[in-house]
A and B are shown apart, each in its own frame.
Chain A
Amino acid sequence: MLNKYPLWKYLLVLSTLLLGLFYAAPNLYAPDPALQIAGQSSSQQIDDKTLRRALNALDEAGIAYFGQTIDANGRQALLRLEDADQQLVAQARVSRALGDGFIVALNLAPTTPDWLSDYGGQPMKLGLDLSGGVHFKLEVDVDAAVERRMEYFVNDTKRALREDRIRGLVRLNSQGKLEARFQTEALREQAREIIAQNSPELEIERVDEGDSWSLLAAISPQARDEIESYAVSQNLTTLRNRVNELGVSEPLVQRQGKNRIVVELPGIQDTAEAKRILGKVANLEFRLVANMDAAQSDKQRFDYRSADRSGASEWLERDVIITGERVSTAQASFDQNGQPNVQISLDSEGGTLMSRATRNNIKRRMGVLFIERKYRTRYEVDEEGAEVIVKVPYDERKILTAPVIQSALGAQFQITGLDNPLESSELALMLRAGALAAPITFVEERTVGPSLGAENIRLGVRSVYYGLTLVLLFMVLYYRVFGVVAVIALTSNLILLVAVMSMLGATLTLPGIAGIVLTVGMAVDANVLIFARIREELVNGLSPQMAIHSGFGRAFTTILDANLTTLIVAVILYAVGTGPIKGFAVTLSVGILTSMFTAILGTRALINLVYGGRRVRKLSIGGRQS
């Protein structure tokens, strides 16, 4: 029988649509404006008392709240507000009441009911252009990192040649290459071997000019790549740590391309504050642990940084052996017995200082201090009587570790006796964060205020609404019953599109909304192709049932070809585009796929239900029929 689907096809279409409805539904629930409270350090617990203090502050200010919760592991508290306009005031009040130990972040708490979220239902994420916030693009200055590395090689080569009593002139030339000049060819060959052995990362070439024998050494492209990715990943980890400090509920820190890092901070308005925290420098100090009998004026007391040792402290000498600038790398590794350790290398000057300080202090302990710039908040009243927030900077110094010195240390040494690989990688990370990282510069910055974000959503939704209504009206007028079927297919397409976007966790941007609008326009095309074909077949004198059958059949390849080429373009857009453009590409691609499903399978199922399997005199498809 013509134009009858087997039952399973109807069920497939129906169940896909129901699934789509289910996963699109979370977007109907508007999120609550909320405050998220977390401790300054990850170990800090948020207890009922803290929450009570926050709530009291809100009560005093007369700000209505509800649904306050502390999460299962006690790290975070969330409290929802009745009024979005009061969010900023509430944040100021609560952070003042709790003091500097806590981060109070603006948040939009999803209100997805349990019966949806239990099965993975979640609303679409909003891009910065819709939610408001800051987007930074940072560039890691790889050249500076390479140059620092070259300086290290130059110093190292000088030292090695001196030790082997090879006389020559070693310097860093203006092209950033290591240049070594010798008086005889024999000396040069000896030096060449030593450099090649000491610094395998260098590519050495011989240069003869007149009566001097020289070597020119540059960093190999491979080593350069390594330095580059090391510098970028080091900056990535430090940036992640600092972003957490900003108290943003869903930050994004992501590597982009070779040497770029993208940081997105939804909800942040104060770019100056964000830049200050992102760009701040941490440092390290290596000091000996003070002897018991040391004079009070020669020693200082410091706390441990890690949570397991909170409360413990150590007396360190006032004299600093070396600081973080001297540390070139720190890497978590394992010794021959499989025990975790951290390998540290210093530059040559650091090596000299370290060996001088440790030579006579074997079996004593050496403390490593981590220094961070922090800010204390003070509230002052200015001459006009308004309250202003003053941030007073101070350096926080805490001990990372204090191992025993086993032997005289040089430019390369390791810290052993760590309990597990987790501890070693954590320590290496902190050492790297404190060592001077490759400098970063801001190459792009985009801020969208919250009012503009909200307006963009409103305008976007409005244009989707008007565009869709126009198209639907036209379809019904032009294609009658078939038009109604197309309307149902289009609406289902929109629902499926939103559902797939939500399931993928894709981000909706303003160009993304434009993509939805465009999809609506283009999704009609598949229906139009089919209907136009059916009309033609009717004009050619086919019976209604045959016309439907051959109309769908013949339009199919056209739809496939047309949509696949558009998909190619969308995929290229995704691959090459950045930020908002990617959002547009995603909606366009998803829209093409869902529209093919609804137009081909969905429309057919409906038409079959309406007309299939019975005698039909005339199709209600508009136009002239013979």
Chain B
Amino acid sequence: MKVINFMGQRKLAIVFSGLLLLVSIVSLATKQLNWGLDFTGGTLVEIHYSATADLNAIRSTLETQGYAGSSVMSFGSDQDVLIRLPQGYSDEEGTALLSLLQETFVGDVELRRMEFVGPQVGDELREQGGLAMLLAIGLVTLYVAFRFQLKFALGAVAALLHDVIITLGFFSLTGMEFNLTVLAAILAVVGYSINDTIVVFDRIRENFRKLRRAGPVEVVDISISETLARTLVTSGTTLMVVVALALFGGEMIFGFAVALIVGILIGTYSSIYVASAWTLMMGVTKEDLMLPIKEGAEQDDLAP
């Protein structure tokens, strides 16, 4: 087994992560997120035209009929049109809009999807989403602190925050819509990233007990090198399915898949560098893991 000197480059990794975080935070602060309808409230109508839709004609129709602040864009194909009305229009407007567009078009228009979200709901969802994220990170930290040790838990949280902020930053920078499904994807990223981190931690714990003479940096390097094959294979297979989802899943699931792709890439990197480097910086030592040695003896009995 070749041991790669991962931790030797940890200064470089800190600079890299710091840069990504800085860009993300600056973008989130200035550009914010392109909040989807779920969070802003408003009306959304997706319409399928039986022939190519003339976006400019639709725009001028809407303008003359007094739908101020509406946005019209094609969605997936040139026959599918997505219209968004800002908050403030009543829940009746979606239907009215559909019949208006049918009147001004010779062929058939078909309603694909219509969503109306009132202002009360949007604010609540944003609050709930933030709460869910914090709750997930908090509980995971507790679990890691309980199963491993506090210093590991802090390393895991650092990695989680790192992944979430950078994924959010990606959505802010690209201006991709941030809706409820993307939020779900980011929570799934939390789940995935912690999964990855724990595998590495598990090996670090094991090696701390086994390699009595090695120093902390060496133990971490050995552990990451040993788990590297597994980390790459799992990330690879998960990426395969998520890329399949992005390519073939359709427009409604695209944002979800992209969030996962970004999250998995960054999560794999962070479980190698951020989580372990952070744990090292917290000054983790052999003594921190002395207590659970008994548990190691039990684990063979637990196995099937």
B299 touches A557 (CB 8 A): yes
Of B24-32, B60-68, B183-191, the one touching chain A: B183-191
Of A172-180, A227-235, A470-478, the one touching chain B: A470-478
B234 interface residue per 8 A CB criterion: yes
A518, A566, A600: the one contacting B194 at CB < 8 Å is: A566
B91 touches A442 (CB 8 A): yes
B198 interface residue per 8 A CB criterion: yes
A448 interface residue per 8 A CB criterion: yes
Q: Beta-carbon contacts of A520-531 to B below 8 Å, as 1s and 0s? A: 111011001100
Residue ID in chain B nearest A137 by CB atoms = B121
A449, A556, A565: the one contacting B304 at CB < 8 Å is: A556
Q: How many A-B residue pairs have CB under 8 A?
A: 237
A577 touches B184 (CB 8 A): yes
Residue ID in chain B nearest A521 by CB atoms = B238
B120, B180, B188: the one contacting A588 at CB < 8 Å is: B188
Closest Cβ of chain A to B114, distance in Å, is 4
Of B211-219, B250-258, B279-287, the one touching chain A: B250-258
Q: Which of B57-111 contact A (CB under 8 A)?
A: 91-92, 94-95, 110-111
Q: Which of B169-212 contact A (CB under 8 A)?
A: 180-181, 183-185, 187-188, 190-192, 194-196, 198-199, 202-203, 206
A553 touches B118 (CB 8 A): no
Closest Cβ of chain B to A605, distance in Å, is 9
A470 to B94, CA, bound (A): 42
B114 touches A271 (CB 8 A): yes
Contacting residues, chain A, for B166 (C-beta < 8 A): none
Q: Which of A448-489 contact B (CB under 8 A)?
A: 448-449, 451-452, 455-456, 459-460, 462-463, 466-468, 470-471, 474-475, 478
B131, B181, B241: the one contacting A576 at CB < 8 Å is: B131
The B interface is mostly helix, strand or loop, or mixed, namely helix
A295 interface residue per 8 A CB criterion: no
Residue ID in chain A nearest B228 by CB atoms = A532
B111, B116, B303, B304: the one contacting A269 at CB < 8 Å is: B111
A553 touches B260 (CB 8 A): no
Closest Cβ of chain B to A16, distance in Å, is 14
Residue ID in chain A nearest B128 by CB atoms = A576
Q: A471-B240, A552-B303 are in contact. Are A445 and B113 (CB under 8 A)?
A: no
B110, B132, B199, B237: the one contacting A521 at CB < 8 Å is: B237
Contacting residues, chain A, for B250 (C-beta < 8 A): 455-456, 459-460
A468 to B242, CA, bound (A): 10
A517 touches B240 (CB 8 A): no
Contacting residues, chain B, for A600 (C-beta < 8 A): 304
B187 touches A511 (CB 8 A): no
Closest Cβ of chain B to A606, distance in Å, is 13
A443 to B90, CA, bound (A): 10
Q: A456-B252, A511-B256, A565-B143 are in contact. Are A570 and B118 (CB under 8 A)?
A: no
A72 interface residue per 8 A CB criterion: no
B116 touches A558 (CB 8 A): no
A271, A474, A573: the one contacting B95 at CB < 8 Å is: A271
A468 touches B113 (CB 8 A): no
Closest Cβ of chain A to B7, distance in Å, is 21
Residue ID in chain A nearest B114 by CB atoms = A447
B8 interface residue per 8 A CB criterion: no
A514 to B244, CA, bound (A): 11
Closest Cβ of chain B to A580, distance in Å, is 7
B110, B117, B187, B198: the one contacting A572 at CB < 8 Å is: B187
A522 touches B192 (CB 8 A): yes
A528 touches B238 (CB 8 A): no
B291 interface residue per 8 A CB criterion: no
Q: A456-B250, A562-B198 are in contact. Are A573 and B304 (CB under 8 A)?
A: no
Q: A553-B300, A600-B304 are in contact. Are A446 and B116 (CB under 8 A)?
A: yes
B242 touches A518 (CB 8 A): yes
Interface size on A, residues (CB 8 A): 78
B237 touches A528 (CB 8 A): yes
Contacting residues, chain B, for A525 (C-beta < 8 A): 195, 234, 237-238
Contacting residues, chain A, for B230 (C-beta < 8 A): 528-529, 532
Q: Which of B92, B236, B245, B299 has the most CB of A within 10 A?
A: B245
B237 touches A447 (CB 8 A): no
Q: Beta-carbon contacts of A435-446 to B below 8 Å, as 1s and 0s? A: 000000111111
Q: A445-B94, A452-B46 are in contact. Are A518 and B238 (CB under 8 A)?
A: yes
Residue ID in chain A nearest B203 by CB atoms = A558
Residue ID in chain B nearest A600 by CB atoms = B304
A463 touches B240 (CB 8 A): no
B132 touches A514 (CB 8 A): no
A83 to B227, CA, bound (A): 55
Contacting residues, chain A, for B245 (C-beta < 8 A): 463, 467, 514, 517
B154 interface residue per 8 A CB criterion: no
B136 interface residue per 8 A CB criterion: yes
A459 to B251, CA, bound (A): 10
Closest Cβ of chain A to B119, distance in Å, is 8
A446 touches B115 (CB 8 A): yes
A448 to B249, CA, bound (A): 17
A470 touches B304 (CB 8 A): no
A192 interface residue per 8 A CB criterion: no
B15 interface residue per 8 A CB criterion: no
Contacting residues, chain B, for A518 (C-beta < 8 A): 188, 238, 241-242, 260
A51 to B140, CA, bound (A): 59
Contacting residues, chain A, for B256 (C-beta < 8 A): 511, 514
A441, A443, A511, A557: the one contacting B253 at CB < 8 Å is: A511
Contacting residues, chain B, for A552 (C-beta < 8 A): 303-304
A444 touches B121 (CB 8 A): yes
A272 interface residue per 8 A CB criterion: yes
Closest Cβ of chain A to B38, distance in Å, is 9
B190 touches A449 (CB 8 A): no
B132, B195, B236: the one contacting A573 at CB < 8 Å is: B132
A604 interface residue per 8 A CB criterion: yes
Contacting residues, chain A, for B125 (C-beta < 8 A): 578
A129 touches B244 (CB 8 A): no
A572 touches B240 (CB 8 A): no
Q: A467-B240, A511-B184 are in contact. Are A443 and B121 (CB under 8 A)?
A: yes
A510 interface residue per 8 A CB criterion: yes
Q: List 15 A-B contacts (CB under 8 A).
A: A272-B95, A443-B121, A449-B48, A449-B113, A452-B112, A455-B250, A466-B248, A467-B240, A518-B241, A536-B226, A556-B303, A566-B192, A566-B195, A568-B136, A573-B184
Which A residues fall within an 8 A CB radius of B?
9, 129, 137, 139, 269, 271-272, 275, 441-449, 451-452, 455-456, 459-460, 462-463, 466-468, 470-471, 474-475, 478, 510-511, 513-514, 517-518, 520-522, 524-525, 528-529, 532, 535-536, 539, 552-554, 556-558, 561-566, 568-570, 572-573, 576-578, 580-581, 584-585, 588, 600-601, 604
A442-B118, A451-B110 given; 16 more Cβ-contact pairs under 8 Å: A269-B111, A443-B117, A445-B91, A449-B48, A449-B110, A456-B250, A510-B253, A514-B256, A528-B234, A565-B143, A568-B136, A569-B140, A573-B136, A577-B184, A580-B181, A584-B181
Query: Which 6 residue pairs across A and B have the least CB separation, nearest first?
Result: A467-B241, A521-B238, A443-B118, A467-B244, A569-B191, A459-B250
